[in-house]
């Protein structure tokens, strides 16, 4: 087992289930100190208990990242409690599968707060400290939906496209500072996001990747020199879309 993360302090959002929980468990098993953030105290406590078996200094914070006014303070509280943060993993996300003709503005803004504004605020809160130290890493877990439009996913796609653009510009601005940026583009992952209430049925019916497999890919990305990582590798589909966007839109609309 790789020990490259031993002693690293990693703050993970959306850590009570799915990819976030899998990532926390794997990192803790490799000797990292993990800070866990999520809304559901009971589920988060279960993940923390598992992590503390191999990483006793790990900790958790129960928070709703949709309450963006508190996110900056949360980030600083985690920094002080962990004695600094080496890696911030912005993983938390909420869906909103609904035809755009049925969407309400408040629903779109709620998705944007969790999926984009919270990562932005966490990053901006921690960045001055990482820059002063001369080291750090921001890992933004976007989605292939941040590169491809998906039927009835306009709110989710908007938030993930925003996270992709933010991450790219962040990487440009931070080049040479010692603070690196990684952009993760998972495909369909077998998590609770498919079963959330108040969402239309997903149009996708194909295979899904296990959360543990995506978590392994994120850990590998942390030690890579590359910026963007597709898990699994759906980049050829994105490249085909970019080569003929009109054809892609016509095909996607027929799903």
Indicate the length of the chain as a whole number: 255
How far apart are the C-alpha atoms of 6 and 189, rounded to whole Å? 27
Catalytic residue among 156, 161, 166, 230: 156
State the Cα–Cα distance between residues 91 and 18, nearest whole angstrom: 10
What integer is the mean pLDDT of 192-214?
78
Is 21 within a domain?
yes
Which is more confident, 189 or 211? 211
- State which residues form the domain around 31: 9-253
Closest CA to 200 of 107, 137, 114: 107
Q: CB of 120 within 8 A of CB of 158?
A: no
| Total domains, the chain | 1
Asked about 204 being catalytic, the answer comes back as no
Is residue 138 helix, strand or coil? Answer: strand
Average the pLDDT over 207-232 and give the result: 94
* 116 is a domain residue: yes
Cα dist. 100→140, 152, 176 in Å?
Answer: 26, 6, 41
Q: Which of 215, 198, 12 is closest to 111 using CA atoms? A: 198
> What percentage of the chain has pLDDT greater than the value 70?
97
CA distance 222 to 233: 17
Kindly state whether residue 239 falls inside one of the protein's structural domains. yes
- Comparison of pLDDT for 164 and 187, the residue scoring more: 164
Which of 67, 59, 4, 54 shows the shortest CA–CA distance to 37? 59
Residue 1 lies in a domain: no
CATH number for position 156: 3.40.50.720
């Amino acid at each position: 087992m790789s020990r490259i993360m031993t002693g690293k302090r990693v703050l993970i959002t959306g850590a009570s289930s799915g990819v976030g929980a899998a990532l926390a468990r794997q990192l803790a098993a490799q000797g990292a100190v993990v800070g866990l953030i999520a809304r559901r105290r009971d589920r988060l406590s279960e993940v923390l208990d598992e992590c503390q078996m191999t990483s006793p200094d790990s900790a958790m914070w129960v928070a709703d990242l949709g309450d963006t006014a508190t996110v900056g303070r949360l980030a600083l509280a985690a920094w002080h409690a962990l004695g600094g943060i080496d890696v911030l993993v912005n993983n938390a996300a909420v869906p909103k599968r609904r035809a755009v003709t049925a969407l309400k503005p408040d629903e779109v803004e709620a998705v944007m707060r969790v999926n984009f504004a919270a990562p932005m605020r966490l990053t901006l809160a921690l960045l001055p400290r990482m820059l002063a130290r001369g080291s750090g890493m921001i890992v933004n877990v976007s989605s292939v939906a941040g590169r491809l439009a998906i039927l009835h996913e306009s709110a989710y796609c908007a938030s993930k496209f925003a996270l992709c653009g933010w991450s790219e510009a962040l990487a440009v601005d931070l080049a040479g500072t010692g603070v690196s940026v990684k952009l993760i583009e998972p495909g369909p992952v077998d998590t609770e996001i498919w079963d959330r209430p108040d969402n239309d049925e997903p149009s996708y019916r194909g295979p899904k990747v296990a959360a543990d497999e995506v978590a392994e890919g994120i850990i590998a990305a942390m030690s890579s020199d590359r910026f963007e990582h597709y898990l699994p590798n759906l980049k050829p589909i994105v490249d085909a879309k970019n080569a003929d966007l009109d054809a892609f839109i016509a095909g996607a609309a027929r799903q």
